[in-house]
Each structure stands twice: as C-alpha cells, then as structure tokens.
Amino acid sequence: MNFKFSIDRAVQQLLPVAEKNNIQTVWDRFKAQQPQCGFGKLGVCCRICWKGPCRVDPFGNGPQRGVCGADAHTIVARNLIRGIAAGAASHSDHGRHIAMALFEVGEGHASAYKIKDEAKLQQVAKRLGIKTDGKNLQQIAKEVATVSLDDFSRQNAKVPCQWAVSTMTKERAEKLSNLGVMPHNIDAAVAEIMSRTHVGCDADPVNILLGGLKGALADYTGMYLSTELSDVLFGTPQPSVTSANLGVIKENAINIAVHGHNPLLSEIVCDAALLLNDAAKKAGAAEGFNIVGICCTGTEVMMRHGVPLATNYLSQEMPILTGALDAMVVDVQCIMPSLGVIKECFHTELITTMPTTKIPGATHVEFTEEKAMDAAKQILELAIEAYQRRDPKRINIPQYKETAVVGFSAEAIIGALSKLNPEDPLKPLLDNIVNGNIQGIALFAGCNSTNVVQDQNFIEIAKRLAANNVLLLATGCGAGAFSKHGLMTQEATLKYAGEGLKAVLTAIGEANGLNGPLPLVLHMGSCVDNTRAISVAVAVAQKLGVDLNKLPLVVSAPETMSEKAMAIGTCAVSLGLTTHLGTIPQVTGSKVVTEILTDKLKDLVGGYFLVETDPEKAAEKLLSVIEEKRKGLNI
Ligand code: XCC
C-alpha cells in the first residue's frame, strides 16, 4: 500500500529504521489487516451471545436479523453504547483512583502525596456543598473525596451525580434529568449499559441510545472529578514553555518515557528523578535523567511541570526506535501491546505498573499509593540498568522538536484575561466574541487513528479555523499533534491567526508580559481535561444567560478512534455541542442510529455529530455551525 502515514517528520525518519530491522509498526499491522471487516465497520456484527456471531446484510439481500431477531438498528446501537460504557469505565476508574488517593491523604496516609492547591480544594468543597469552617485541610480533603466517591456508589436513583449537576448550566442539568439520562452513580450507569445490552433486553434503538447518553454523562462525571482532584493533589496548571516531538530525547541522558493516563505514578517518578539525578550521572549520563511524555500521562506532567512530550498515540512505538529510550513506564489506557514486542529489539525496559494493565514482555513494578516513592525508585534503577545496555551505534534521534507553550487550565485562562479586566475577566472574551474579533471557539480533542494520515486533519482544520478567527483549544492527542507541529507558539499566532484573533491574542499576551500574543492553540491538558474547556464554556453561557447549545462553540475529534473518545464525543453532544468526527463511526449499518446521532439528537439535546472526513470541508462545516450560532445569538 503506498500512502503517507504521518505528517510528523520524526515518524517519517524512523519508519525506514523499523523496516530495516524487520520491526512491524502500527502502520504495517494496519496494512496487514486490509481489507478490514465490512460488517464490523458498519457496526452490524453482533458478538453478544454464542448463538452468533451474527451479521446483517447491509445490501438487504441476506439476513436482516440475527438469530435472536435483533435487527441492524438494535445491533448497531448496542455495540455503540457498549463502547461508551467502556470509555466511561476507563475515565471513571482513573477518577476513582485519584479520589482514593485524596482520601488517603485526608487520612494521613500516602506520604508521597500532599495537597498542592489548597485554594482549589476549598473551591471544590464549596461547589460540592461541603462546609469548611473550622476544618483543617486534611478533613476537607477527606470529605471532598468521600462526596466524590459517593458518585460511584449512591443507590438512590433520585439523587444525581453531584459532580455532574454542580458543574453544568442549570438549564442543561434540568433538560438531561427530564430526559432520564442524568446518572446517579457512575458505576451503575456502566453496569446498566452492560445489562440492558445483554441478549434479550433492550431492543429499541432510541431507548438504547438514551442509555448511551447516560453512560456518556457518567463519563463526564468521572472526567470532571479526575481533573479537579488531580489539580488539588498535584497543582493546577499554569502556562509554561516546553517542547515536543522526538528531538526531546537526549543522547547524553537516561531517557524515561511516562505513558498512559494516570498522573499518580508519573508525578512521583518526576519527583524521584530530581532526587536521584546524581545516580544517573554516576552511571555515565552527563545530563542525568530526562523524563519525557507520551499520550495523556505525558500531557499531565507536561501541563504541570513542563515535561517535554515525546509523541502522541499513534507514534508511541517510535521512541523505542530511537535506540536512546532507556525505559518506558506505562500505567493505563492507550498503550499498544506491540511495545512488548518492539522493545525486544532494543535495550529499552518496558515497565507496567498497574494490576489491570500487564503486557507480555514487560517488567511489572506494582504501584500503590502507599509505596509510590519505592516504585518510582525501582523504576529509575531499572532505567539505569537498561542505560548500561544501550548500543551507541543504534542511536537515531530525529532532531525535530518544537517549542510548546502549555498549561492553559481554566484558571490560567481566566487569570490571563483578568489582566485586561480584573473585575470581570470574562468580559474581554465576550466583548471580542460579540464584536466578531473572535468568531467562535473550537475545542480539538481525541486521538490519532491509522484511518487518517497522522496529525494531518488536526493541523489542516486548525489552520483554516484560525484564519477565520476561531479561538482554538486542544486536549489529549490533538494537543499532542499541535505541540509537535509548532502550533502552540506565538509564531504560529502571527503566521496563521486571522486579524481579529491575532489582535485579541496579542492584547492578552501583552497584558501578561509575554511581549507578543498567546499561542495559536491553547493546550488545556489530557482527555479527562476536556472538562476544563467545558467549565469555561459554562461560565460564558451563565454570563450570557443562555444554555451551552447556544454558544458559537464547536468540538472536533478529527482523528478519533477509542471507546473513551466515543464517550467524550457523546458527552459533548449531550451537553449541546456540535461535535465533528473526522473518522467514520462504526454505526452506518443502521439508518436509524445514524440519523439520530447526526440529526435527531439536535432536537433532543441541541448537540449532534457532524461526520466529515475531508479536513477542508470539515473546517467549512464547522465555520457554518459557528455562523449559525452567532445568528441565533443575534451577533
Ligand atoms: Fe488515547 Fe489520551 Fe485517544 Fe490519545 S486522545 S489516543 S484516548 S491518549 Ni485521549
């Protein structure tokens, strides 16, 4: 197959290395899978029971129902919402882990952790209705953790998840409650999806999809508390300057990549690397330890400590191919099993850390909150040992890296705006939206996929929107793409932003002493951090006295692939936002489901999915949505 795999030049440099060494990469395996199963792609393959697998003939000639009688609509809807359940479970398990760590801190255990952002703890407590007078920080932490954990265990279905209702507009919360899709318990919402999609239960595609919305809102709840409680424990991100792409790997250092999603261990690895840096130097690495990031764990430490990002999802195998990565430490989610195979061809130590994510070929160092520092030290020792095995002749570090200004939490954005108007920080943003300097806001989220030339859709759509004065925000692997390609810089603003947008970003940048504009794309964090963008949107909506679906705000996941992304996308739609997908979701085998997702949901919740694989057309469509919303607001 002769196609371009990635626009990332570092990847382009290393793919021939893989070929020469007979190493299969994600793109080789994608090629080997062609042609992929058409039934699966349409979502009409059902593997829910052992009478099957069954599939519906999309051309109408063969069977139209599975053995049990489920038709294409039932099958497609069930498959989709099972994906949403898996996404919600993943994000929420991450959230539970953080909440448990906060609880331990409140109890006086888990000595590696402390409360780094007291103001945020107070603010979260207030939002959750917890009285704080006369209580010390530890007590407050424990109560916040307990109320958060209640969102995983409440049995009274009449009481909604507190992290959901307390963070959205009142109107939205009411709408979703009236639709019966507001979850009362994250775990129950996931379990409900699994049970209603068991053989012989829910067969009505509309009802099934409503279950999916509920699952997506459980995902929202889990994401929200993950982000906020991580800020409490590790600090709320503030802007800092760092860099991205494989050039961040250093020949003279012991390079350790942290990969996955959960910051609980990677934070401590960063602390331990500072403490033990001399050991690395003693082992011969002049520059000591060099921690770099991959995927969302990378993003978490990038946002809080300016740790450089090596790469995003699709190219996660590449750091090993540089021959200079000594250890890759993984926690949970988006970790390719192939890493265990590829690392066999190099000296790299692959280290798994979570009981639920073990990979054949990896060394397992079990992580617990109580013994976090011990695990981190053990990991550093393994990296030092691996470094001794490094073969200098095989080192091939692509010298590509771009500056990236990162760390735009909601607090950081409001803080920057407050330099223009301390009494009313949102006013300058609103004024500029009203006067058209900023036409609208686009949040880029989601993954990379082999179905798209890596990073291309992100970059092309963003440039087009920026030229049309759309303010750009990004999270997850989308943010990874922008940071690797130099779009999180002041230079990118000067080069690509339309005049209005440039003027606003420059005014904010100057007011904050940056001697120039804010970067073209604001890095808001990992995927759970999509809620940071939602929190700004909610504040804007509340100020305007409208609901979220009225705002000129769009979401784009132009290279999406994971179940978590299915959950996030559905959550954005449930919140009323038009959500673009640049890959075709596996639902097109059902006209009913496709119509609901791309059209009918608009009447129900205000949001819907806009599917467009062509980046140019996608940008045009997103711009028309923004225009339509502006008209609706009479601006
Ligand atoms: Fe995973 Fe978060 Fe997707 Fe990236 S964006 S591929 S889910 S790492 Ni979350």
* 568 within 8 A of 560, measured Cβ to Cβ: no
Confidence grade of residue 3 (pLDDT, cut at 50, 70, 90): low
246-394 and 413-632: identical CATH topology: yes
95 CA → ligand 1 middle, Å: 16
CATH class of 413-632: alpha beta
Ranges of each domain in the chain: 37-67, 72-234, 246-394, 413-632
The residue ranges of DSSP E strands in 358-456, in sequence order, are 363-364, 402-406, 440-444
Query: What mean pLDDT comes out for the span 567-586?
Result: 98
Whole-angstrom Cα distance, residue 476 to residue 299?
7
Query: Looking at residue 4, what is its pLDDT?
Result: 85
Architecture of the structural domain at 246-394: 3-Layer(aba) Sandwich (3.40)
* Number of other CB atoms surrounding residue 400 within 10 Å: 19
State the pLDDT at residue 2: 37
Q: Tell how strand 289-294 and strand 240-244 pair up.
A: unpaired
- The pLDDT assigned to 400 comes to 98
Looking at 237-361, list the stretches that DSSP marks H as alpha helix, in order from N- to C-terminal side: 263-275, 277-282, 295-305, 318-321, 339-342
Q: What is the mean pLDDT of residues 292-314?
A: 97
Closest CA to 308 of 287, 323, 278: 287
**Residues lining ligand 1, judged by CB closer than 6 Å?**
261, 295-296, 313, 334, 446-447, 476-477, 526-527, 562, 564-565
45 among annotated binding-site residues: yes
Q: What is the pLDDT of residue 1?
A: 39
The predicted model gives 616-625 an average pLDDT of 98
Residue nearest to atom 2 of ligand 1 (CA): 296
pLDDT at 208 over 60: yes
Residue 270 annotated as binding site: no
**Which of 524, 564, 571 has most ligand 1 atoms within 8 Å of its beta carbon, as the pocket-test mutant?**
564
pLDDT per residue over 391-450, tens digit each?
Answer: 999 999 999 999 999 999 999 999 999 999 999 999 999 999 999 999 999 999 999 999
The CA 426 to ligand 1 mean position distance, Å, reads: 30
Residue 158, judged by CB atoms within 10 A of its CB (0-12, 13-18, 19+), counts as: exposed
The helix (run of H) or strand (run of E) holding residue 429 is helix 426-434
How many whole angstroms from 525 Cα to the centroid of ligand 1?
A: 11
Which atom of ligand 1 sits closest to the CA of residue 299? 2
The CATH number given to 72-234 is 1.20.1270.30
Residues 92/219, Cβ–Cβ less than 8 Å: yes
Number of residues written out for the chain: 635
- Residues 473-520 pLDDT 10s: 999 999 999 999 999 999 999 999 999 999 999 999 999 999 999 999
pLDDT at 174 over 50: yes
Considering the chain, what percentage of its residues have pLDDT values greater than 70?
Answer: 100
- Judge contact between 46 and 37, C-beta under 8 A: no
Residues linked to residue 415 through DSSP beta bridges, in sequence order = none
